[in-house]
Chains A and B, each alone.
Chain A
Amino acid sequence: AQSVSQHNHHVILSEAASLELGCNYSYGGTVNLFWYVQYPGQHLQLLLKYFSGDPLVKGIKGFEAEFIKSKFSFNLRKPSVQWSDTAEYFCAVDTGGGNKLTFGTGTQLKVEL
């Protein structure tokens, strides 16, 4: 079975700092990749997704992620974080089609003023 690893469990940044959250998956075939975010007190929502084409995908709120097939990675980045980015971030992978996602364990991001 595939697995998804998020190595940063807790990240604390100051506003305007750059962000990179790691995501690695274990599957050698075709994958569909997602980042979801859960803001405090809100529903889990999609940040961005990759299916094919340009490996650098842009999502909402200035986030982007790069798919590097050779590294089995899909890291999330943002050049300058804001206090409102404080949330939990989940990487997810779909390998078999049918939209059945395998999620990583999540990264709790806290942005300090």
Chain B
Amino acid sequence: IAGITQAPTSQILAAGRRMTLRCTQDMRHNAMYWYRQDLGLGLRLIHYSNTAGTTGKGEVPDGYSVSRANTDDFPLTLASAVPSQTSVYFCASSGTSGATDTQYFGPGTRLTVL
């Protein structure tokens, strides 16, 4: 059982470059989420998707975009990376978007923007 996979594991990126972080889940979960984790700030929600074909903005959406073409994949794109986007990015999923559903997290992608 893979659960949630994220790619790449880590990446160093020049400022201004475009980057897509990949997230795939094999649990047939409807809801998916992207968080960033920064020292001293905890995890903050970037974007979410309650079901395939829909997306929404979280707490810190600026500079990021997402798409949800199917149930399994939820890529996060940085159109033009900036150093403040240096962070660890976690993808998560839950069976539904209901508050009772546990979120399952991927292993994270460590991104450094220089």
Contact = CB atoms under 8 A, between A and B. Distances in A.
Interface stretch (A13-21, A62-70, A75-83, A91-99): A91-99
A99 B105 contact: no
- Counting chain B residues whose Cβ lies within 8 A of the other chain, the interface size class is 20 to 34
Interface in A34-54: 36, 43-46, 49, 51
Q: Is the interface of B mostly helix, strand, loop or mixed?
A: loop
A43 B97 contact: no
Contacts of A51: 99-100
A43 B105 contact: yes
A90 interface: yes
B74 interface: no
B42 A97 contact: no
A32 interface: yes
A87 interface: no
Interface string B14-56: 0000000000000000010101000011111100101000000
Interface of B: 3-4, 31, 33, 35, 40-45, 48, 50, 58-59, 90, 92, 94, 96-108
